[in-house]
Amino acid sequence: MNLTKEYCCCRNVPDNLLDNLLFLCKKPLVIHVVTSLDFGGVERHMEIIGHTLAHAQFRVLFVAIGHGGAAEERLREAGAHVICLGKKPKILSLGALYALLKLFWREKPVVVHTHGAEANLHGLLAARVTRIPVRIGEEIGIPDHSKRTQCVFRYVYNTAHRVIGISQAVTDWLVENGEVSHKKAVRIFNPVQLPALQVRKIQKNNIFRVGFVGRLEPIKNPKILLEVLKILLSKNVPAELWLIGDGTERAAIESRVYELELQEQVHLFGYQNNPSSFLCRCDVYVQPSLSEGFGLAVVEAMGCGLPVIATATGGVPEIVQDGVTGWIVKKPDAISLAEALLKAWRLGSDRLFEIGKKARQSVENRFDPIAYLEQLENLYIDLRKAG
C-alpha cells in the first residue's frame, strides 16, 4: 500500500514509518468509500468497522470524497488508515472522480466498497474504469429518485458485482424500482456496537423524559417533537425532551422552543460521543424520521434498555416489534407520535422498564460487529473466487 504525501493526511506519523508498517502487512486491500467522515449513520458504520480490524482478513483504507471530522479522528485513534480527498461530492463531480481514479490506480485494491449515493456514483464508476476485481455498492436509505436519476443509478449499479441494502426494506426498494437486479441485490444489516448495559436512573421527580439521538436535519424530523411535547404538556404529562445531536435544523428548533415557551422542558445537548450516557436517564426513545434506511440510533437506544417509539419507515419495523419492544407509528405527525407517547406514559415506569429489557434482549448479538465482518468478508472472498 503506497500512501504518498499527496494522499496521506495522517497527523503526527512520519510518512516513512507509516509506509513501512503498511508494507509489512501482505493482506489484500479493501477501500471503503464514503461521502464524508464527520458525524452521521454512515460515519458511525465506518467507525464500527474500524474497531474490528484486528479480526479482519483484509487491510482496510477508509476514503472520504469530501471532508473529515469527528469520525475521521476516531478512526485514526483506533489505528485505522484514512484519506480525505477534500473534493465536492456533488453529483457529478469530475474532480472527485479523477481523485478516486488516481487513488485506485496507485493503491490497487482488490475490493472497492462504496456507501451512499455520492460515494456509489463516483466510487463505482472509478472502480469500473480501473478494473477493480470486486466492486460493491451499498444503499443506505430509500431514496426519492426521479425517473432520470433511477436510470443513472441503474447504470452505475450495473457496474457493481453486488449492491447491499442495509435493511430488507431498502433491498426490496432497489429491486422493485429496477435500479438493481435481483441477482445482484443482497441484504446485510449494519453492525451495531451496543453500549454497555447501564443501570437505568429512575427519576425521583416523576418526569417523563423522552430522548432522541440523531442529526438535526429535516429527514430526521426532529422539529416535530416540539409539537409533540406541547401536546403532552397540555394533557398534564410532566414531560421533558432531550435532543442529542446537531445539524442544520438546530437554529430553527431553538427558535421554535422560545415560540412555544418550552425552554424549561427542552434540552439540546448537541453532538455527543457517548449518547448512551444520556439515554440511560430517559424513559423512552422516539424516532420521528420521514425516511430511515436502517435505524442505527434505534438499535443503540434499545441496547440502552429503552422502549422505542418510531415511525414505520425503512428498516425500523424490522427492528422494533410493535407492542413488545416498543411501538410503531404509521404517520410521522405530532398527533400520532403524541398518542403513542401518552400510551407509554400511562403504563408507568415499571412496565416501561420491562419493555426496555425486552428491547435490549431483542438486539443483543443480532447486529454483532464481528459477525458482520465475517459476513462481509465472506462476500468479498466469494466474489474474488467467482471473478
CATH of the domain at 285: 3.40.50.2000
30 and 166, same domain (yes or no): yes
339 and 323, same domain (yes or no): yes
Q: For position 90, what pLDDT does the model report?
A: 84
Considering the domain boundaries, does residue 4 fall inside one?
Answer: no
Considering the domain boundaries, does residue 306 fall inside one?
Answer: yes
Question: With 90 as the cut, is the pLDDT of residue 341 above it?
Answer: yes
User: Measured over all CA atoms, what is the biggest interatomic distance in the chain, rounded to whole angstroms?
Assistant: 66
Write down the residue that cell numbers 447501564 correspond to. 198
What does pTM read for this prediction?
A: 0.87
122 and 231, same domain (yes or no): no
Question: How crowded is the C-beta side of 241, counted as CA atoms within 13 Å?
Answer: 27
pLDDT, tens only, 266-316? 999 999 988 999 999 999 999 999 999 999 999 999 999 999 999 999 999
Q: What range defines the domain where residue 276 resides? A: 208-363
- Across 221-232, average pLDDT: 98
pLDDT, tens only, 96-150? 999 999 999 999 999 999 999 999 999 999 999 999 999 999 999 998 888 999 9
Q: For position 5, what pLDDT does the model report?
A: 39
377 and 332, same domain (yes or no): no
Confidence of residue 367 (pLDDT cuts 50, 70, 90): very high
Q: How many domains does the chain have?
A: 2
Q: For position 9, what pLDDT does the model report?
A: 43
> What whole-number distance in Å separates Cα of residue 228 and Cα of residue 222?
10
pLDDT, tens only, 166-212? 999 999 999 999 999 999 999 999 999 998 776 555 555 689 999 99
300 and 342, same domain (yes or no): yes
Burial group, residue 236, by CB count within 10 angstroms (0-12, 13-18, 19+): exposed
Q: For position 23, what pLDDT does the model report?
A: 43
Determine which helix (DSSP H) or strand (DSSP E) holds 111, and give its type and residue range. strand 111-114
129 and 67, same domain (yes or no): yes
268 and 186, same domain (yes or no): no
> What whole-number distance in Å separates Cα of residue 60 and Cα of residue 45?
14
Copy the grid coordinates of residue 26: 501482505
Considering the domain boundaries, does residue 174 fall inside one?
Answer: yes
Q: For position 204, what pLDDT does the model report?
A: 55
Q: For position 358, what pLDDT does the model report?
A: 96
340 and 302, same domain (yes or no): yes
241 and 355, same domain (yes or no): yes
153 and 247, same domain (yes or no): no
298 and 359, same domain (yes or no): yes
Determine which helix (DSSP H) or strand (DSSP E) holds 154, and give its type and residue range. helix 147-158
Whether residue 344 contacts residue 325, with contact meaning beta carbons closer than 8 Å, is answered with no
